[in-house]
Structure formats: C-alpha cells, structure tokens
Amino acid sequence: MVETDINMRTELMESTQVQSVDRSDTKVADMKQQVNATIGEPFAKDPKMQARQVNVYYGNKQAIFNVSLDLGKNEVVALIGPSGCGKSTFLRCMNRMNDTIPICRVEGNITLDSEDIYADAMDPVLLRARVGMVFQKPNPFPKSIYDNVAYGARLHGLAFNKAELDEIVITSLQKAGLFDEVKDRLHEPGTGLSGGQQQRLCIARTIAVSPEVILMDEPASALDPIATAIIEELIDELRQNYTIAIVTHSMQQAARVSQRTAYFHLGKLVEIGETNQIFTNPKHELTENYITGRFG
Amino acid sequence: MDKDLHLAHHISRRFNAELEELRSDVLAMGGLVEKQLADGLVALTTSDTEIAEQVATSDYKVNSMEVAIDEKCNQILARRQPAASDLRLVVTIIKTITDLERIGDEAEKLGQLAVQITDANVSYSQFVEIRHLGDHVKSMLHDCLDAFARMDVADAMRTIEADKKINEEFESIMRQLITRMMEDPREIKNALRVSWCARALERIGDHSSNICEYIVYLVEGKNIRHISDVKLSQEMA
C-alpha cells in the first residue's frame, strides 16, 4: 500500500509539473504585459539621487522605459538583469555619461540633492566629480600611480600645493585599500599593477575628487575571487560616506553587497526591493526566473 | 496551487534533475515513515510482536535516508547557491526531513511499547481510542505528504487545522487514563505505557503540522510558525 502511495505521489508530482508548464506560459505572457508597473518600493526614505519617469532612446530604439528609482544616502543599490536590459544605460544616465553618445536621448527627470542634473546650468564635468564612476575593465591612465589619483584633484583644483595633493593621493589610496601595496612605488606606472590593484586604483582615482555618489559598472567581473572580495569589502566601507549604485552580473555579489536590489528586464524596472526579500521571495515571476537561472 | 515552483525550468538541466531527485527522495522517506507508523499501529492494536520488533529495528532506514538527503542538500547549497524558491525548497527539505526522522523515532517508540504491552498482557478498552487516534494521525501524515507532493497550500492549511482535533483526542485519552490509574493503582504501569503511545501519536501530529508550515513557507514565502490563529488568518488572507 505504501509502495503504491509513493508511486501515486510521484505521479501526482509529475502531473503537477505538467500543469505548471501549461500555466507558466500564460502567466509569463500576462506578466510581460504587466511590466509597465514596477513591483516594490522604488523610492528611498532619504534620497540622494532621484530618477523619475526616465526614458532613454538610442536613435529610434527605446532602451529604457519609464523608470523611476531613488538612490538613498549611504546605501548600495544593486542593478541586476540580463544583458541588454538597460541597467548600464540607466547607470550612465545618473552622471550624464550618455551625453558622449550623439544618438542617445534622455527624457524624464534626474536629480542630485533635488538639483536637476540635466539642467543647462549643470556642468557635466563638475557633475561627474560629484557622481563618480568605476568601469568593468580597470582603465588606469598611462601615468604613474600617483598621477592617476592626483589627476582629478588637479583638474578640479582641489589642492593648492604639493603637500595637499600628497594628502589627497595618500588618503584616497588608503580608502581604496591599496596604499600599503603601492606606497613604495607611487611613481611607477599604474598599468604595471595587477587587475585587482588597477581596479582599486580606479576607485582611488574616483574617491580623490570627493564624490557624493559612486556608480560602479560591473567593477569586479574581470577579477579573481580574492580581488573581488577585497572590492566588495571596500564597497561596504565606502557606503559609510557615499551613495553607491552597482551593476553586476553576479547574483551572489548583488546579494552580498547591496541593501536594495533592482531587477531590469527589456528596459523596464520590473521589481525593486530589500535585497533579502528579492533573493528569498521575489514577487515578480521574471525576477524569480532570472535569479534562479530559469528560462522564462 | 497559488504559486508554481517550476522546478524543471532551470537552464541547467542537471540542476533540474538534482532538485527533482531531492523531492522524490523526500517523498520516498515520507513513504517509509508512513509505513513505519502504519506497522507500529498494527503491532499495537493486534498485539503482533513480530511486526512490533520489525518496527523497532527498522528505524535505521529512516535515519540513513535523513543523512543521505541532508548530504544532497548541502551539496546543492555549496555548488548551486540556490536563490528564491529554489533556496526555499532546499531549506524546507532540510527541515522537513528532520521532522520526518522524528516521526520515525516516534513510530519506533510505538513498536517498542507494543512489545512491552503485549508481554504484559494488557487488554485495554483504551486501545479503541488509541486506534482511533492512530487512524487520525495516520491520515494526517498522509495528507501532509500529499500536500508536499502537490505543493498545495490549501491542503497544508487544512492539515494544520486537523492537528487541533488530534490534540483534543489526546487530552481525552489522558483524562481517561488518569481516571483509570486513580481507580486502580496497580494499573499505573500499564496505563503509563498506553499514555506514552498516545503521546507518541500526538507528537507525530505536531511534526506533520510543522511540515505543513514549511510547505506554506516554500510556496508562499510566508513564515506562519508560532503565530496566533487570528494573525494566521490575516497572513493567509
């Protein structure tokens, strides 16, 4: 009797599977139509940057659809989603990096401390000093380690003499957790460092101009696990003083470093929520499919 | 079913297979535990010492299944780092097998007590009640495992509700036994044995109820353990 019970249950299980396959097709179709509304709370209590109804077009092609999202003070927001979902495009809107692309058009409203960053009065160079960016591939200038970090400070006239500049370079390298490793070779080329060190050098260069927000576009995807762990530890420390948005393809990384996670799909912000909730109980089927490695 | 789990929809087919295997392992373990309980009850109510011995010595099978499933769960956690519903499934299974193993222990106890009670030549009218309680517990465990196979929250909730009846029945058996013990102190030893049987059955009800709570967590992502009935109905509304 018990044997048959087990068989029965296995059948039951299989029939459940078949049912769910049928149901999923209709459900996903429904969901795709419903993506217009973001699930979760996109607004932060204490916002540093606010994006409202942002649409981005590359020529005739729309890359971002009506995305509203806050970056709160002292929080790390992770942007996740499949390739081409618009998460990097959205990140680049936050410090007007898309200005450099002639066919790119940004609609909507993005503010930094309630100041419209797309206003005519806003100087993009100054904006990018306040909203710094770290890229996927470490891109140190072909200069010495010292000059790499000093570059932005010189450009923006943040130091009045050599001693002040030294101070900025040293504290930036210290904050980026790189100083001890390079203190004896500050005048050697930055390109001679390892990948992980180069990435931390780029972070030091970003910090050197005292930004308020740091945008990171897959900062650790070219690094080994140890270098990645160091960068992640650094992100957690930087959070005390900065607002951070990070684009990552690593689910575990998003889960480890962020307080809130936003899931993008085909240019839309599908779901945003506390990272704990997103990774244990996402509300949207598309989010669930993505973070668990299912095809939707 | 409120939310489909799509266990077989992963890009990695190997992962699909691993999760399926895990789920059928749990059902196999559930089937074994169910058999142990059924045999324990037969032994108790028919004074069949052979079956009683068999139940008392077969618990190792349940234990070794628990260890094996536990190991598989650990491997999945380490190698796949499951998230969302997959994570909830693995966590649910880790907890479910603990309760199943405890149910196995209680069934083993029934077998041991059946041997003692048969040896002591007790024939009690209480066995009618025990049989009644046993039938209820058996069907509760059955429903609980069905709810697990179907991932059915409504069934799980009904099964949790059924545990209340079992607790009431247990209380009533205890009252009768206490009366009997007061009437005739020479009966205390055997009455205690019968009460332990009732206790074992009542505990099986509790463990089944726990498993149903894990099912709700698995499907809905809601934790309904240790909350009042009022709050429970709000949660599930």
Report the percent of chain A where pLDDT is more than 70: 88
Q: Sorting pLDDT into bands at 50, 70 and 90, what band is B45?
A: confident
Residue A165 clears pLDDT 80, i.e. is over it: yes
Whether B94 and chain A come into contact, CB under 8 Å, resolves to no
* pLDDT per residue as tens digits for the range A28-58: 445 444 566 889 989 988 999 999 999 999 9
Confirm if B93 and B73 have CB atoms less than 8 A apart.
yes
Fold assignment, A45-138+212-291: Rossmann fold (3.40.50)
Write the pLDDT tens digit of every residue in A98-137: 888 999 999 999 999 999 999 999 999 999 999 999 998 9
Instruction: Determine the residue among B27, B54, B151, B224 to mutate to test chain A binding: the one whose Cβ has the most chain A Cβ atoms within 10 Å.
Output: B27
User: Would you report the helix, strand and coil content of chain B in percent, each value rounded to 5?
Assistant: 85, 0, 15
Give the range among B25-34, B45-54, B95-104, B155-164 with minimum mean pLDDT.
Answer: B45-54
Q: What angle do CA A64, A67, A73 make, to 5 degrees?
A: 125
**Mean pLDDT (chain B, rounded):** 91
Structure tokens of A124? 């993009």
Residue B120 has a pLDDT of: 82
Predicted local distance difference test score (pLDDT) of residue B53:
93
**A234: which 2 tokens?**
């650094």
The size of the A-B interface in CB pairs under 8 A is 88
Residue B9: pLDDT band (50, 70, 90) is: confident
CA B146, CA B211: separation in Å to the nearest integer? Answer: 11
Long-range contacts of A115-118 (CB under 8 A, 24+ apart): none
Contacts A287 to B, Cβ<8 Å: 84
Q: Would you call A281 and B84 a contact, using CB atoms and an 8 Å cutoff?
A: yes
CB–CB of A13 and B27 under 8 A? yes
Q: Which amino acid, A290?
A: Y
Q: Measure in Å the smallest separation between the Cα of B150 and chain A Cα atoms.
A: 6
Pick the residue from chain B with its C-alpha nearest to A292: B83
A12 and B81 within 8 Å at the Cβ level: the answer is no
Q: Mean per-residue pLDDT for A63-74?
A: 94
Residue B46 has pLDDT above 70, yes or no: yes
By the CB < 8 Å criterion, does B12 face chain A?
yes
Q: Classify residue B70 by burial, with Cβ atoms within 10 Å: 0-12, 13-18, 19+.
A: middle
A130-144 pLDDT tens trace: 999 999 899 999 999
Give the separation between CA A210 and CA A153, rounded to whole angstroms.
9
What are the boundaries of each domain within chain A?
A: 45-138+212-291
pLDDT at B190: 86
pTM for the predicted model, two decimal places: 0.83
Nearest to A2 among B31, B83, B146 (CB): B31
Determine what percent of chain B is predicted with pLDDT higher than 90.
73
Q: A261-264 long-range contacts, Cβ below 8 Å, gap at least 24?
A: A261/A77, A261/A78, A261/A79, A261/A80, A262/A42, A262/A69, A262/A77, A262/A78, A262/A79, A262/A80, A262/A87, A263/A80, A263/A81, A263/A287, A263/A290, A263/A291, A264/A67, A264/A79, A264/A80, A264/A81, A264/A85, A264/A86, A264/A87, A264/A90
Q: What is the mean pLDDT of chain A?
A: 87
Element (H, E) at A67: strand A61-72
Per CB-CB distance under 8 Å, the chain B contacts of A6 are: 27-28, 31
pLDDT band with cut points at 50, 70 and 90 for residue B97: very high
* Contact predicate B184/B153, CB 8 Å: no
Q: What is the pLDDT of residue A170?
A: 95
Give the pLDDT confidence score for residue A22 in this predicted structure. 39
- A296: confidence class by pLDDT, cuts 50, 70, 90: low
Rounded average pLDDT over B41-48:
88
Does A292 contact B10 at a Cβ distance shorter than 8 Å?
yes
Q: Is the ipTM of this complex over 0.90?
A: no
Which pair of structure tokens corresponds to residue A270? Answer: 């599908």
Q: How far apart are CA A167 and CA A159, in angstroms?
A: 9
Please give the pLDDT value at position B236. Answer: 80
Task: Extract the tokens encoding A191.
Answer: 């390109």
List the domains of chain B with CATH numbers. 13-236 (1.20.58.220)
Q: How far is B139 from chain A (nearest CA, A)?
A: 12
> Could you tell me which chain A residue has the CA closest to the CA of B152?
A16
In this prediction, residue B229 has a pLDDT band, given cuts at 50, 70 and 90, of: confident
Distance CA(B137)–CA(B202), nearest Å, equals 8
Residue B230: pLDDT band with limits 50, 70, 90: confident
pLDDT score for A29: 44
A40: left (phi over 0), alpha (psi -120 to 50) or beta: left
Residue of A97 and A25 predicted with greater confidence: A97
* Contact between chains at B5 and A20 (C-beta distance less than 8 A): yes
Could you tell me which chain B residue has the CA closest to the CA of A21?
B6
Q: Is the pLDDT of residue A27 over 90?
A: no
- Residue B78 pLDDT grade (very low, low, confident, very high; cuts 50, 70, 90): very high
Given a cut of 80, whether residue B124 has pLDDT beyond it is no
Q: Pairing between strand A115-116 and A104-112?
A: antiparallel
User: Residue B231 above 60 pLDDT?
Assistant: yes
B212-226 burial, b for 16+ CB within 10 Å, e for fewer?
A: bbbbbbbbbbbebee
Q: What does the DSSP assignment read for A29-60?
A: HHHHHHTTSPBS----SSEEEEEEEEEEEETT
State the Cα–Cα distance between residues B21 and B27, nearest whole angstrom.
10
Question: Is A225 buried (19+), middle (13-18) or exposed (0-12) by CB count in 10 A?
Answer: exposed
Q: Which of B6, B15, B32 sits opposite A24 (nearest CB)?
A: B6
Q: How far apart are CA A236 and CA B47, in angstroms?
A: 66
**pLDDT for B175:** 94
Does B11 sit within 8 Å of A295, measured CB to CB? yes
